[in-house]
Amino acid sequence: MAEWIEVAKTSDFQLTDRKLVDLGGHQQIGLFKVGSDFYAVSAWCSHQKTTIITGDIEACEIECPLHGARFDLKTGRHLCLPAVKPIASYPVKVEGDVIYLKADR
Residues in contact with ligand FES by the rule CB under 6 A:
45, 47-48, 50, 64, 66-69, 82-83
Answer for the pair 94, 8: CB distance below 8 angstroms, yes or no: no
Least distance between ligand FES and beta carbon 70 (Å): 9
Least distance between ligand FES and beta carbon 89 (Å): 16
- Cβ nearer to ligand FES, comparing 72 with 99: 72
Least distance between ligand FES and beta carbon 50 (Å): 4
Cβ-based burial of 57 (10 A; exposed 0-12, middle 13-18, buried ≥19) = middle
Phi, psi at 103, each rounded to 5°:
-155, 165
Phi, psi at 12, each rounded to 5°:
-65, -20
- Cβ nearer to ligand FES, comparing 29 with 83: 83
Alpha-carbon span 26 to 12, nearest angstrom: 24
- Cβ nearer to ligand FES, comparing 21 with 43: 43
Least distance between ligand FES and beta carbon 64 (Å): 3
